[in-house]
Structure 1
Amino acid sequence: MELKPVTPFEPVLAAQLPSGSQWIAQIKWDGVRMLSYYDGSRIELVNRRGNRRTMQYPELTVQDRYCRADSFILDGEIIALVGGKPSFHEVMRRDGVRSEAAVRAVLPQVPVLYMVFDMLYCGGKWLLDQPLSMRQQMLQDMLLPHSHVQNVPSYTDPAQLFAAAGSGGLEGIVCKDLSSTYALGGKDKRWQKRKIILDVTAVAGGVTFRDGTVNALLLGLYDNEGRLHYIGHAGAGRMTAMDWRNLTAQAHNLTVPASPFAAMPERSKDAVWIRPSLVFKLHFLEWNPSGTLRQPVIQAQVDLPAEACRLEQRG
């Protein structure tokens, strides 16, 4: 049978770690959420937005290399390591390519790992109504050793893992109730994420230039009425000179005469306003009382619609 893409279950942001014997904890990987579908004939990789990414990761498309099931749906995160730590910027160098030639060029430069943490379908049977403990056991039984695929380990002490993640400079952890079923498209406190490195996905509503090239972004998030609220000005980050040149070309095609923000940003001098369509992931230290980001650092441009950039991300 053909397996149709589904929307994955999401954790909610938590201020405190849960306690109790029913909870396990896993590292929160700074990568790209990806579901792997095998219908008995071929593997398809689809991200959380329902967009196919099979071409971008050819090392993950040979079924018998990493799962013994004759059909499956796996849930996990594709990551790229730099200095032993996941780098969102590096994995986006793979995820963002749009031709097979570009994939071949970047593949040896950016090796990836598929960190698998759940199994939704196995051998013709859905596992959604089964508890996480059973799905984890099924995953353990079905995954095979592979140089680009790993089963995400679980730990019984969330506080200890959170401390270790902080010491290692990792993004955070996800705590999961072992009795939890898998709710397609759901998001509730049976899965909780606790972040060490804060991040946000925001849309650019303006840019500034230096010597003819974009050098910074004015960023915003939407409220429920569709108004775009300014959250900060970012120029520092992992963007390369080529990234900035590409962004400059995009910005020239998106210029608009007036600010798209609900209120005029504090950093509006010399800004060029653009139609809000370019989306970026940023890391930052904290939210200022004014509702702006403290020390935002651009990680990468991402393939998301502007309307996905919501104020709800502030938690």
Structure 2
Amino acid sequence: MEWQPIVPFEPIRTETAPSGDGWVGQIKWDGTRILTYASGGTVRLFNRKGHERTLQYPELLDLSSYCTAESVILDGEVIAIADGRPNFQEVMRRDSVRKAQHLALAQKQVPISYMIFDMPYLDGEWITDKPLRERQRLLQERVRGNATVQLVPSVAGMNDLFGVMKQHKMEGIVCKDLESKYLIGGKDKRWQKMKIYNDLVAVVGGVTHRAGQVNALMLGLYDAEGRLWYIGHAGTGRFTQQTWRELTEKVREMTLPERPFVNVPERSKDAVWIKPLLTVKVSYMEWTAGRTLRQPSIQALVGAQPADCTFGQLDG
């Protein structure tokens, strides 16, 4: 069978867990979405965007070692553990391998696990119209865990699960309606994600423009010696179009000829440097190995003193 990769079902964002007995919570793994397509002894792997990843994860190609189906599509997350919890940067080291001769070293340096949570196709039949509770039952029957592959457990206490994820600084949870069908290419409230973010107040040391309007902020924090370090850029969040327009006017009077950051930011080529006077509250997932913010999101302009925007915030 020649597979055409599907666009997997996606959850929407929520701040509170849904109520009712017909919901379960699952851990939201900080990894990369991988779907396994198996038929006639051939196994291929694709990510959520339909890009093939069969080369990158050979641990998953022996289907018979963890699944009894003749043909199947398994939906899950490939993760890599660092410091006791899933680490997105680590799994990206594996995901970025493009040559077979580099794979053995990558496997040794970054062992992975495959966390399976759904199965839209089984033994020649699309089972997307079956409710989640039935698909989970079939998963339990057909998939057995091994050293690399595990089934994602479902729990009824979603708020309790979210609390545990906060305690362990995990990514969050996904709440799922047990009656939900698997909607290929869909994204709706039958699956809802609750994500855990950190917050800090950062200095704006530069901006980028699109069509003459500021579209992203270049963020920084001061170290103990009073040096400003670039920590990432953010163009998403809660700013309205009016806020972006007002900001565009404001920074015109704040430009600098040289960057105010000690280190060289990404996107420096397109940056307009400004006096580090503006401060913003930013939420983010975590710090990367390169000391920049992962998934920063602008929450608001704030009136904090720039000198107070230090790495010391991270100790609280």
What is the aligned partner in structure 2 of residue 123 from structure 1?
123
What is the aligned partner in structure 2 of residue 21 from structure 1?
21
What is the aligned partner in structure 2 of residue 60 from structure 1?
60
What is the aligned partner in structure 2 of residue 37 from structure 1?
37
What is the aligned partner in structure 1 of residue 150 from structure 2?
150
Q: Secondary structure at the match of 1:107?
A: helix
Give the fraction of aligned pairs with identical amino acids, expressed as a percent. 42
Q: Deviations over 1:229-265 (max 9, x none)?
A: 21443699xxxxxxxxxxxxxxxxxxxxxxxxx9469
Name the amino acid aligned to 1:127: I
What is the aligned partner in structure 2 of residue 233 from structure 1?
219
CA deviation after TM superposition for structure 1 residue 221, in Å: 11
Larger Rg: 2
Name the amino acid aligned to 1:299: T
* 1:166-245 matched pairs, under 5 angstroms: 166-197=166-197, 229-233=215-219
Pick closer, same or farther for the CA change 1:125–1:109 going to 2, 3 Å.
Answer: same
What is the aligned partner in structure 1 of residue 225 from structure 2?
none
Pick closer, same or farther for the CA change 1:63–1:165 going to 2, 3 Å.
Answer: same
Contact 1:158 1:175 (C-alpha < 8 Å) held by counterparts: yes
Structure 2 gaps of 5+ residues are: 200-204, 223-246, 260-264, 272-277, 301-316
What is the aligned partner in structure 2 of residue 111 from structure 1?
111
Pick closer, same or farther for the CA change 1:33–1:198 going to 2, 3 Å.
Answer: farther
Contact 1:170 1:197 (C-alpha < 8 Å) held by counterparts: no
Paired with 2:288 and 2:177, the residues of 1 have a C-alpha distance of: 31
Contact 2:282 2:298 (C-alpha < 8 Å) held by counterparts: no
Alignment counterpart, residue 282 of structure 2, candidates 272, 293, 303: 293
Pick closer, same or farther for the CA change 1:312–1:88 going to 2, 3 Å.
Answer: same
Pick closer, same or farther for the CA change 1:22–1:220 going to 2, 3 Å.
Answer: farther
Pick closer, same or farther for the CA change 1:94–1:221 going to 2, 3 Å.
Answer: farther
Name the amino acid aligned to 2:36: S
Q: Deviations over 1:71-108 (max 9, x none)?
A: 00000100001132001111111011111111111111
Paired with 2:9 and 2:42, the residues of 1 have a C-alpha distance of: 24
> Please, what TM-score do these two structures have when normalized by structure 2?
0.70
Paired with 1:138 and 1:152, the residues of 2 have a C-alpha distance of: 13
- Runs of 4+ aligned residues of structure 1 deviating over 6 Å after TM superposition are 217-222, 225-228, 265-268, 289-292, 311-314
Paired with 1:138 and 1:235, the residues of 2 have a C-alpha distance of: 50
Q: Secondary structure at the match of 2:73?
A: strand
Pick closer, same or farther for the CA change 1:234–1:143 going to 2, 3 Å.
Answer: farther
Paired with 1:60 and 1:156, the residues of 2 have a C-alpha distance of: 29
Paired with 2:65 and 2:85, the residues of 1 have a C-alpha distance of: 25
CA deviation after TM superposition for structure 1 residue 290, in Å: 7.4
Pick closer, same or farther for the CA change 1:22–1:219 going to 2, 3 Å.
Answer: farther
CA deviation after TM superposition for structure 1 residue 197, in Å: 2.9
Paired with 2:125 and 2:82, the residues of 1 have a C-alpha distance of: 38
What is the aligned partner in structure 1 of residue 164 from structure 2?
164
Q: Secondary structure at the match of 1:140?
A: helix
Q: Secondary structure at the match of 2:109?
A: coil
Contact 1:80 1:86 (C-alpha < 8 Å) held by counterparts: yes
> Please, what TM-score do these two structures have when normalized by structure 1?
0.70
Paired with 2:121 and 2:288, the residues of 1 have a C-alpha distance of: 33
Name the amino acid aligned to 2:105: A
RMSD value over aligned CA atoms?
3.5
Pick closer, same or farther for the CA change 1:4–1:273 going to 2, 3 Å.
Answer: same
Aligned residue pairs: how many? 251
Pick closer, same or farther for the CA change 1:294–1:171 going to 2, 3 Å.
Answer: closer
Paired with 1:48 and 1:17, the residues of 2 have a C-alpha distance of: 25
Structure 1 gaps of 5+ residues are: 200-216, 237-261, 277-288, 302-308
Paired with 1:196 and 1:226, the residues of 2 have a C-alpha distance of: 34
Pick closer, same or farther for the CA change 1:235–1:37 going to 2, 3 Å.
Answer: farther
